[in-house]
Structure 1
């Protein structure tokens, strides 16, 4: 089985759409004439720029789905078992010299992407200081429903008051991804009049994937 890039005259998947019903989604599309089977790829899209799926996946990770199965089910039905962005790609399958050829469509009309809900990120930040100390200790704790890439979060330090955005103080990145569950980070020493708050590094990008909730 191999991939061939779409060109004029080859059978292409069109009118791909989806419907979500509780914990299941249904894909529907227009079958090209003469195509009796497709291969369907599913991937988590949380770490990929939206809509960028140029490189076809390994064929071993794809699922064969026939035209007869499609007719019987009224589409392709799959269980939603993840939180966040998910992308499905449907590849038309044709036979050439006894070999299966999957059509890779650069226009991505054979791909749909949708959100199955925002994963919750709960966090707490404690400040501890002594009367005679010039510095205080800040402890950050993060409770995540799913793995969170380190690029999604940052903390901001501001003198005199809590920062209100990433532009309202000094931004510091995190060095490791956050696994599911609770992560208590090593203490941070800051000035006695400094305050720290957690933010998304890119609100529009990561706000559609995660919900940031102070505990």
Structure 2
């Protein structure tokens, strides 16, 4: 598989439109006459260009599939901006060629939006104990690296920010779905809350929501 540059006579993809709904993206485009299949590449719009040509992760999609599904539908597990590129597939001497369009007419840029991270912190105090147990639960829509979040402990009041108390890192990444962390013990007058480690950076991709 290799690229072929689009020239005056090459079939090209045009009129690409996209629609995002419920974390699914639907792409539609005008097929050139005679073209029966395309390859679709999906990548983060902020990722550096791959030095591999063509890049890995291409998906073959036929004209029949397009007709049956009224377009191309893809789940958005990513966050932020996502770039789709649709390449006309040709065959020449038994080799697959992908038509590379310099005009960008075969591309669509869509927003996957922010992924929600739900969190819950339960404090359980023993009747006569000087300690209490804290149970933290993180429920994520997408995988979340451990560096994104931290928890803060403060005496006599709930922390108001990541600087308002003693800050602690998490030790493992969070999988999509419900992540119940091992309980920890703190002083009976201590309170814990969860924050972004870097609000401006990670707030562009995630939304932190208390349960």
With structure 2 as the length reference, what TM-score do the two structures score?
Answer: 0.64
Alignment pair present for 1:113 and 2:122: no
Q: Determine if contact 1:146/1:180 at 8 Å carries over to the other structure.
A: yes
Change (3 A) 1:65 1:151: farther
Give the whole-Å Cα distance in 2 for the aligned partners of 1:13 and 1:168: 54
Q: RMSD across aligned C-alpha pairs, in angstroms?
A: 4.3
Deviations 1:171-192 (A, max 9, x none): 3322223234432211223445
Q: Determine if contact 2:122/2:135 at 8 Å carries over to the other structure.
A: yes
Aligned residues: 201
Instruction: State the partner residue of 2:139.
Output: 143
Instruction: State the partner residue of 1:54.
Output: 49
Q: Determine if contact 2:23/2:76 at 8 Å carries over to the other structure.
A: no
Give the whole-Å Cα distance in 1 for the aligned partners of 2:157 and 2:144: 27
Q: Determine if contact 2:119/2:138 at 8 Å carries over to the other structure.
A: yes
- Larger mean CA deviation between 75-84 and 121-130 belongs to 75-84
Alignment pair present for 1:162 and 2:161: no
What is the deviation of 1:14? 6.6
Q: Determine if contact 2:122/2:134 at 8 Å carries over to the other structure.
A: yes
Alignment pair present for 1:77 and 2:82: no
Q: Determine if contact 2:24/2:76 at 8 Å carries over to the other structure.
A: no
Alignment pair present for 1:179 and 2:175: yes
- Structure 2: gaps of 5 or more residues: none
**What are the residue-to-residue correspondences of 1:91-110 with 2, within 5 Å?**
91-102=87-98, 110=107
